Amino acid sequence: MKRDRTSFAKLQILRYVEKSFTCLADLVNPDIEGLMNMPAHGLSRDDLLAVLDETFQAHVLVAKKEGRGLFTPTRREIENALAEPHGRARKLSNTFYGLTSGANELFNELRQLYAARAT
């Protein structure tokens, strides 16, 4: 794996939910740095959609929605979730995302990739 904007974005997307689920729509919040208290992922909406679809389909991430429980969203469901209210306006009925146990390998690899170059 190499350092590029997509791998950095994946790292950030995983870091945002390292401890708990968060609203998918927050990923398109213009104030994501303040909301997450860490750097933004840096992707356009289209690139973000592609990265999210890839990571959900690889079972790195899982979605959660009230009344539905845990699930792997389709690309259309991800698009719809990104359009839900975000930030302080978000609702408990929004779609949230979190890590699966399958995220461990990728997350560790990305952390090492960026930690090794930061020193």
CB 35 within 8 A of CB 41: no
Instruction: Tell whether the model's pLDDT for residue 118 goes beyond 80.
Output: no
Q: How long a stretch of residues is the chain?
A: 119
CA atoms of 25 and 18, how far apart (whole Å): 17
E-assigned strand segments in 1-119: 22-23, 61-65, 69-71, 95-99
The percent of residues in the chain predicted with pLDDT above 90, rounded, is 86
Q: Residue ranges per domain, the chain? A: 5-118
**CATH classification of 5-118, choosing from 3.40.50, 1.20.58, 1.10.10, 1.20.120?**
1.10.10
pLDDT in tens, 81-105: 999 987 666 678 899 999 999 999 9
Whether this model's pTM surpasses 0.95:
no
